[in-house]
């Protein structure tokens, strides 16, 4: 992030608008950060605005909203999210 430090985190939640990642420590995020998402069939690199860090069940999560996401990447993320929602609904129906 911000060119001075890189951290890794597992994706907890993702949408076409932003991402929430699980983090290990109490890192002070800058207002803006560069984020790289490694997704099936595509890697997305975009700027994001830091929203907040919260803790739930002793798990820290940092939230970011995407800035300047390309239309192609936005469409790809929307398709991934839609597929995940369909799979979740199918599992609940079984």
Contact 71, 80 (CB under 8 A): no
CB 61 within 8 A of CB 22: yes
Q: Is 24 helix (H, G, I), strand (E, B) or coil?
A: coil
Q: pLDDT tier at 3 (50, 70, 90 boundaries)?
A: low
Is residue 7 scored above 50 in pLDDT?
Answer: yes
Predicted confidence (pLDDT) per residue in 11-56, tens digit? 888 888 999 999 887 778 889 989 999 988 899 999 999 999 998 8
What b/e sequence results for 38-70 when a residue is b if at least 16 CB atoms lie within 10 Å of its CB, and e otherwise? Answer: eeeeeebebebebeebeeeeeebbbbbebeebe
Which residues make Cβ contacts (< 8 Å) with residue 2, sequence separation at least 6? Answer: 30, 32, 33, 34
The model's pTM is 0.81
């Amino acid at each position: 992030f911000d060119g001075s430090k890189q951290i890794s985190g597992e994706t907890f939640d993702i949408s076409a608008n932003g991402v929430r990642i699980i983090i290990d420590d109490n890192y002070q995020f800058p207002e803006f950060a560069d984020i790289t998402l490694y997704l099936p069939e595509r890697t997305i690199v975009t700027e994001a605005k830091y929203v907040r860090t919260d803790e739930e069940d002793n798990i820290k999560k940092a939230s970011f909203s995407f800035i300047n996401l390309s239309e192609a990447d936005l469409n790809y993320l929307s398709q991934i999210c839609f597929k995940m929602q369909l799979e979740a609904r199918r599992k609940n129906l079984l």
